Amino acid sequence: MPRSFLVVILLLLTSTVFAQHTQRCGHQISAQEKQLQQQFIPGYFGCNFINKHERTLQINAYIVLDSLGAPGFTEDQLNNALVTLNDDFEPSGLQFTICKITYIPNFQYNYFIDVEHEDQMTVEYYEPNTINVYFCFSVTRNGGIVCGYAYFPGGKDFIVLQKGCITDDNHVWSHEMGHFFGLYHTFETDLGVELVNGSNCETAGDIVCDTPADPDPDGNADQNMDCLYTGPTTQDSNGDWYIPPVNNIMSYYPDACVCKFTHQQYIRMIDQFLQFRNYLW
Ligand SMILES: [Zn+2]
């Protein structure tokens, strides 16, 4: 086989693997955020309507420049990503506007490492009471490269994103904004393993009941076959078959499958916003 052919195959394989994992993020909940969540009183989930809360929140966007002073992420890309973000949040009534774009002339932050750069960067570049969003070439969180991370309510008003993960047709920014407004991953097990029959959906998994139990933190779904879940875990402890939410923004399923938040995820985000982040401008 010619060498160039091998290279093409390798590149294709690499890009496929990358594409399948672009939802991956570095989210984790601190003790302080957990404590705040214990005070959380969920809203009323009974009726099929969303407690819409019309608010437009201010985003301070920071694009970190590389060593040659190039942004590597255009304002058009930023604005297009903002359109997707606002489309995803539209049913909640929460919308976002970019009040200012700041270019950060420190290429070290472009290779962002949480333990090395977060404290310093958020002292130098941070506007209180707004959502501060940083775009970096790479983002390292807990020792691993991720597409981004955000803090739950109670944490900093801060989201860091990898420039290469933000495209017009994915929901990475919305995923991180979901965490920012208190959404867990659909496959979360920190609070207990959610059962397929939904009997513990209010206390386990992502504690949202209209997102089916999701056993798969790796997001294995066949993009070429209607995004069917491909395992490996097929049944829960009751022997019920998993039908995970492969289309959910808070899952890790491939971008091609992911497209939405659910009704109760919107309710939870609004509740979390009103209780914990209502100070935002
Ligand atoms: Zn996440």
pLDDT in tens, 39-73: 887 765 556 666 677 899 999 999 999 999 999 99
Quote the ligand 1 centre to 199 CA distance (angstroms): 24
Quote the ligand 1 centre to 161 CA distance (angstroms): 12
pTM: 0.90
pLDDT above 70 (res 157): yes
pLDDT above 80 (res 183): yes
Residue 110 CB neighbours (<10 A) = 22
Quote the ligand 1 centre to 68 CA distance (angstroms): 31
Q: What whole-number distance in Å separates Cα of residue 170 and Cα of residue 125?
A: 27
pLDDT above 80 (res 23): no
Quote the ligand 1 centre to 45 CA distance (angstroms): 24
Do you find a cis peptide bond into 232, omega within 30 degrees of 0?
yes
Q: Torsion-angle region of residue 211: left (phi > 0), alpha (psi -120 to 50) or beta?
A: beta
Quote the ligand 1 centre to 103 CA distance (angstroms): 26
pLDDT above 60 (res 97): yes
Q: Is 199 buried (19+), middle (13-18) or exposed (0-12) by CB count in 10 A?
A: exposed
Q: What are the chain's domains? A: 53-183+271-276 (3.40.390.10), 186-260 (no CATH)
Residue 237 CB neighbours (<10 A) = 8
Quote the ligand 1 centre to 38 CA distance (angstroms): 20
Q: Facing residues of 229 across strands? A: 221
pLDDT above 60 (res 74): yes
Q: Is 78 buried (19+), middle (13-18) or exposed (0-12) by CB count in 10 A?
A: buried
The residues whose Cβ lies within 5 A of ligand 1, an ion, are 25, 27
